[in-house]
C-alpha cells in the first residue's frame, strides 16, 4: 500500500462516494424534534451498515435518546497508533422552509460561483464531513489496509445538546479509549487554505419561561394594571448586555484570559477581512465587545445571545391580549476557563433578581459545556499540519472556532484524550440556515486530506 494508490482510489471512486453521501443526506435526521426520532435511527443504521460493509466491526448502540454508532478496524501494522474519529449524523431543523430553493432532503449538485456544491440540510454539518473520513477509510481498506487502528463514534444528538453522550462515554470508556480523537466538524480558513482548529468555545443553552397571570387577559380590561410577562422578559434580556456590548452577568468574565501575545500576533497576520466577513451577510459593524477584533469576538471572547423568543399573539393582524407567559432560548458561548455551571447559576440569579412579585420564572437546560483548547506543542498537531499542507499546497493555519463541539470537552475531561479538529467546511456553507451546501471539492479533497493525515499520524 502506498498513499498514492489510496489517493488514486479516492479520485476514481468520487461518483460512487457522492452517491453514498446522497443516500445519507436523504434521511431526515433532525434531532431536536421528537417527530424525527425514527429518521435518526435510520441514519444510524445506514452508517453501521456502510462501515460493516467496508470491513469495520460496527454496531448501533441504543441510548435514552438517539442511538450511537460505534465501529472498530485494526491497522495491518499492530504497533500503529489508535485514533478515535468522532462525528454526528443528526442535523438542524429546516425552518424557515420557504427560504429553501429546493427540498432540504433532496440533495443535488448545483454549480454556482465557479464551484460544484452539494446542497442539502446536513451537507456540511456534518454528513459531508463525516463521509469524507469514511471514504478515506474505504480507500485504505480496499488498498491494503488502514495505517492507524481506527475507532469511530457517531452520535445523533449533537444539534440538541448531546444529552446521551456523557453517560455513553462513561459506560464505554475502555472501548473508546485511543491515542487521540479526530473531529471533522470544523472549517477551512478559506477555500484554498486548510486549517486546524485548536480552540473552541463552550456552550450553555438555557430556556427561560416567565409567567404572570393565570390566563391570557384583554389588554383593554387589564392593560396598565396587570403585569405583562413580555415586558418583564424584554427587560431581563435587555439587561444582559451593557452599552459597550459586554455581558453583564455577575462573574461572567471569570476565567476569561487575554490571548497570549504570540497567538494574537498570528491572528493579526491572517488575511482576515472584517468588512467582507460581515458584509457577506449584510452587516457592517462588529456587534460584540467594543475594542475587540472580529476574530477575537468569535474565537476568544464569550457571548450571550437570544436564539429565540416568543410570547402573546404572533399570527396575522393583531390581538389585544396580555399573554400569561413569554419565553426565550438563551445561549452563552464560553472561552478559557469559564465554568458552565456557574454561568447557569448566575443567569438564574440574574433573572430571579429582576422578577416582579407577580411573575415566576422556570428554566429548562439544553446543555452546558466548557471551552476547550489543544496545546500548540502537540506532536500530532504538527504531523497533521504537514499532511494538510501537502494536500492543499498552502500552509495549514491554526485557528480558533466560534462554534461549540461539547463532546471534545468530554473526551478531554472524562477520557483524557486531546482532539485534533480538522474540517473542510467553508464559512459560506450556510450551516443551520436554508440552502446549506458543501463544496464537492471539500468532500473530495477532504477525503484525500484524511488519508494523508492518517498516514502522517502513523509515522
DSSP state of 317: S
The dihedral sign for the CA sequence 134, 136, 137, 143: positive
**CA–CA gap between residue 173 and residue 414 (Å, rounded):** 8
Which CB, 145 or 434, lies closer to a copy of itself?
Answer: 434
Residue 38 C-beta-side C-alpha neighbours within 13 Å: 1
Among 237, 263, 390, 458, binds a copy of itself (CB under 8 A): 237
* Rounded Cα distance, 185 and 403, in Å: 10
The one among 18, 54, 178, 230 contacting a copy of itself by CB under 8 A: 230
* Site map 157..196 versus a copy of itself, x via CB under 8 A: --xxx-----------------------------------
Residue 138 or 301 having the CB closest to a copy of itself: 301
Residue found by looking up cell 494508490 in the block: 5
Residue 217 binding a copy of itself, by CB under 8 A: yes
Of residues 41, 177, 209, 321, which one binds a copy of itself by CB under 8 A?
Answer: 321
Cell of 385: 499540519
- Phi first, then psi, for residue 218 (nearest 5°) are -75, 125
Shortest spacing between CB 179 and a copy of itself, in angstroms: 28
**Considering beta carbons, is residue 81 or 104 the nearer one to a copy of itself?**
104
Interface with a copy of itself, residue 37, by CB under 8 A = no
Query: Which parts of 415-454 interact with a copy of itself (CB under 8 A)?
Result: 427, 430-434
* Cell, residue 81: 497508533
Site string (300-319) toward a copy of itself, x via CB under 8 A: -xxx-xxxxxxxxxxxxxxx
C-alpha cell at 221: 380590561
Secondary element (H or E) of residue 11: helix 3-12
Beta bridge partners of 397: 195
Show contacts with a copy of itself in window 331-390 (CB under 8 A).
Answer: 331, 333, 356-358, 366-367
Which residue of 11, 95, 273, 395 would you call a contact of a copy of itself, by CB under 8 A?
Answer: 95
If the CB atoms of residues 51 and 240 are measured against a copy of itself, the closer one turns out to be 240
Of residues 50 and 228, the one with the C-beta less far from a copy of itself: 228
User: Rounded to whole angstroms, how far apart are CA atoms 298 and 439?
Assistant: 23
Q: At closest approach, how far in Å is the CB of 29 from a copy of itself?
A: 14
Residues within window 281-300 making contact with a copy of itself, judged by CB under 8 A: 281-289, 294, 297-298
Enclosing H/E stretch for 195? strand 195-200
Residues 110-149 that bind a copy of itself (CB under 8 A): none
Q: How far apart are CA 46 and CA 230, in angstroms?
A: 45
Among 5, 13, 33, 172, binds a copy of itself (CB under 8 A): 33
List residues bridging with 146 in a β-sheet: 75
- Interstrand relation of 372-373 and 68-73 (parallel, antiparallel or unpaired): unpaired
DSSP string, 110-132: EEETTEEEEESTTIIIIIHHHHH
> Does residue 235 interact with a copy of itself by CB under 8 A?
yes
Give, as one character, the DSSP assignment of residue 297: I
**Which residue reads 413569554 in cell numbers?**
326
Shortest reach from residue 119's CB to a copy of itself, in Å: 15
Are 123 and 56 spatial neighbours (Cβ–Cβ below 8 Å)?
no
Return the residue of 17, 92, 151, 419 that touches a copy of itself, per CB under 8 A.
Answer: 92
Among 20-28, 74-82, 138-146, 221-229, which window interacts with a copy of itself (CB under 8 A)? 221-229
Task: Provide, rounded to whole angstroms, the least separation between the CB of residue 404 and a copy of itself.
Answer: 6
Amino acid at each position: 500500500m502506498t498513499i498514492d494508490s489510496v489517493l488514486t482510489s479516492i479520485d476514481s471512486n468520487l461518483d460512487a462516494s457522492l452517491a453514498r453521501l446522497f443516500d445519507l443526506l436523504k434521511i431526515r435526521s433532525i434531532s431536536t424534534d421528537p417527530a424525527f426520532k425514527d429518521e435518526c435511527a435510520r441514519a444510524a443504521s445506514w452508517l453501521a451498515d456502510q462501515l460493516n460493509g467496508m470491513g469495520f466491526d460496527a454496531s448501533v448502540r441504543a441510548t435514552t435518546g438517539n442511538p450511537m454508532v460505534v465501529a472498530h478496524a485494526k491497522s495491518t501494522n499492530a504497533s500503529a497508533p489508535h485514533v478515535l474519529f468522532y462525528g454526528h449524523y443528526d442535523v438542524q431543523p429546516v425552518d424557515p422552509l420557504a427560504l429553501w430553493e429546493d427540498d432540504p432532503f433532496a440533495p443535488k449538485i448545483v454549480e454556482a460561483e465557479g464551484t460544484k456544491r452539494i446542497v442539502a440540510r446536513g451537507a456540511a454539518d456534518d454528513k459531508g464531513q463525516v463521509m469524507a473520513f469514511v471514504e478515506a477509510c474505504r480507500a485504505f481498506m480496499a488498498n491494503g489496509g488502514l495505517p492507524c487502528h481506527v475507532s469511530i463514534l457517531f452520535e445523533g444528538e449533537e444539534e440538541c445538546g448531546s444529552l446521551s453522550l456523557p453517560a455513553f462515554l462513561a459506560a464505554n470508556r475502555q472501548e473508546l479509549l485511543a491515542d487521540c480523537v479526530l473531529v471533522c466538524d470544523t472549517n477551512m480558513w478559506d477555500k484554498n487554505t486548510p486549517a486546524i482548529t485548536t480552540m473552541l468555545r463552550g456552550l450553555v443553552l438555557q430556556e427561560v419561561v416567565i409567567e404572570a397571570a393565570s390566563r391570557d387577559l384583554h389588554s383593554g380590561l387589564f392593560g396598565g394594571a396587570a403585569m405583562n410577562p413580555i415586558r418583564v422578559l424584554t427587560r431581563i434580556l435587555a439587561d444582559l448586555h451593557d452599552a459597550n456590548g459586554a455581558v453583564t452577568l455577575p462573574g461572567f468574565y471569570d476565567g476569561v484570559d487575554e490571548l497570549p501575545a504570540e497567538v494574537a500576533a498570528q491572528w493579526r497576520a491572517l488575511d482576515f477581512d472584517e468588512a467582507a466577513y460581515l458584509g457577506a451577510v449584510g452587516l457592517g459593524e462588529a456587534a460584540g465587545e467594543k475594542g475587540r477584533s472580529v476574530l477575537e469576538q468569535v474565537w476568544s471572547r464569550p457571548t450571550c445571545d437570544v436564539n429565540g423568543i416568543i410570547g402573546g399573539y404572533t399570527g396575522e393582524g393583531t390581538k389585544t391580549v396580555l399573554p400569561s407567559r413569554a419565553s426565550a432560548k438563551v445561549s452563552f458561548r464560553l472561552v478559557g476557563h469559564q465554568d458552565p455551571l456557574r454561568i447557569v447559576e448566575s443567569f438564574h440569579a440574574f433573572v430571579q433578581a429582576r422578577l416582579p412579585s407577580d411573575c415566576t420564572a422556570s428554566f429548562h437546560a439544553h446543555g452546558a459545556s466548557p471551552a476547550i483548547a489543544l496545546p500548540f506543542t502537540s506532536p500530532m498537531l504538527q504531523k497533521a499540519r504537514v499532511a494538510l499542507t501537502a494536500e492543499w499546497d498552502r500552509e495549514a493555519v491554526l485557528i480558533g472556532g466560534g462554534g461549540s463541539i461539547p463532546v471534545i470537552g468530554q473526551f478531554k475531561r472524562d477520557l483524557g484524550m486531546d482532539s485534533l479538529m480538522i474540517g473542510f467546511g467553508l464559512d459560506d456553507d450556510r450551516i443551520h440556515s436554508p440552502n446549506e451546501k458543501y463544496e464537492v471539492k471539500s468532500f473530495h479533497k477532504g477525503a484525500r486530506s484524511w488519508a494523508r493525515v492518517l498516514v502522517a499520524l502513523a509515522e
